[in-house]
Amino acid sequence: MLGGELCFEQGGEKCRSTRAPSINRLAPPQTSAWSLASAGPRAQGHWGGELGAGYGFGVGPITLRPIGGLLIHSDNDEREVKPYAKAEATVTIPALAELGAGARISGDRMRIYGTAAFDLLPKLKLKGNLGDHYVAIGIMGQF
């Protein structure tokens, strides 16, 4: 019985009691957090600014994070704002980085990219993305 008392007898020895591990101790920790990100990307052939928000679903060191936001850039002295959506899967390596891959949909194209995030403060990370016709570096806050 998990979490209860167990008794084992061996060759006439007295019965001793021990606690079995609980289910909660066997499962990896689950985490979730909202994130806000601001980056300076080159996407869709333009340099600009990205503002995005996402929600990370984590189990142990693995996090899945859907993200939505806006790409803001100037084209021929005209400011354009375009929506985008991303999905990332990352693995956290303690005391080093959060590394993974993502897919970004903007306009009519989906682009695959690699991502890395490094701790600056407990809830603030320096984050970079690199892929085919897409590069971004910025800050990601989690709460």
Instruction: Report the pLDDT value the prediction gives residue 84, as an integer from 0 to 100.
Output: 94
**Domain extents in the chain:** 30-142
Q: How far apart are CA 111 and CA 121, in angstroms?
A: 30
Are 80 and 88 spatial neighbours (Cβ–Cβ below 8 Å)?
no
DSSP letters along 1-19, please? Answer: -TTSEEEE--TTPPPEEEE
Are 50 and 39 spatial neighbours (Cβ–Cβ below 8 Å)?
yes
pLDDT digits (tens, 9 = 90+) for 82-125: 999 999 999 999 989 999 999 999 888 899 999 999 999 999 99
Higher pLDDT, 99 or 77: 99
Model pTM score: 0.76
Instruction: Report the pLDDT value the prediction gives residue 25, as an integer from 0 to 100.
Output: 53
CATH number for the domain whose boundaries are 30-142: 2.40.160.20
**Taking 80 as the threshold, does the pLDDT of residue 16 lie above it?**
no
Query: What token pair was written down for 95?
Result: 């005391």
Q: Are strands 124-131 and 62-75 parallel, antiparallel or unpaired?
A: unpaired
